[in-house]
Amino acid sequence: MWKLLIFFMMLAAAAPLNGQGAVPPDAQQRRILALENAWNQAQQTKDAAALDMLLAPELSYIEYDGTLMNKAEFLASVRSPTLQPLRIVNESIAVRVYGAVAVANGVVREDGVKNGKPFTIRERYTDTWVRRGDDWVCVASQSTQVPR
C-alpha cells in the first residue's frame, strides 16, 4: 500500500502547477523527471497498473537486446514472475523540452534476479514523452547496454 502511496505522491509532483497547462519549461522538466522516477518505482515494484498510466497506448519499447515490444508486451514483461527487480536507479538523467514534446536521456542501473540468477545491468536510454492535455505520456523508450 505504501508503494502505491509513494507512486501517487510522485505523480502529484508531476502534475500541472495551475491546471491550465501554462507551465514554464523548467517546471515541465521537473514533471518529466518525476514521471521518470515514478516509472522506476513502478517497475521495481512490478506495479503494471501504475506503469499503464505513464505509457501511451502506441508505445514503442526497445529492450537493451534489441527486442521491440508494444505496450501490452512491455507490461507483460514487467509482470513476469521470472523477473524480480531489486533496485532500479537513475545514475544520470537530462530532460529537454520542445513544447509538447520532451526527451529524457539517462543511464539507469538495474539489479535483480532473472530466471533464478542475479543480474546487474547498466543501460543508456532515450525516452520520448508527448503532452496530451495536462498529462505527459511516454511514446517511445529505448535502451542500449553500457559497460558496468
**Interface positions with another protein (CB under 8 A):** 56, 58, 60, 62-68, 94, 96, 98-101, 103, 105, 123-126, 128, 130, 139-140, 142-147
Q: Answer yes or no: are the C-beta atoms of 93 and 105 closer than 8 Å.
A: yes
Residue 53 or 93 with smaller CB distance to another protein: 93
Strand-pair partners of 41? none
Residue 53 or 62 with smaller CB distance to another protein: 62
The CB-of-9 to another protein minimum distance in angstroms stands at 28
Residue 41 or 143 with smaller CB distance to another protein: 143
Alpha-carbon distances, residue 104 vs 37, 76, 80 (angstroms)? 12, 24, 26
Q: Name the residue among 123, 122, 3 with its Cα closest to residue 51.
A: 3
The CB-of-105 to another protein minimum distance in angstroms stands at 5
Q: In one letter, which amino acid is 100?
A: A
Q: Estimate to the nearest angstrom the gap between the alpha carbon of 23 and the chain centroid.
A: 21
Environment class of 95 (CB within 10 Å of its CB; exposed 0-12, middle 13-18, buried 19+)? buried
The CB-of-35 to another protein minimum distance in angstroms stands at 16
The CB-of-48 to another protein minimum distance in angstroms stands at 23
Residue 10 or 102 with smaller CB distance to another protein: 102
Helix axes 25-44, 2-13, angle to 10 degrees: 160
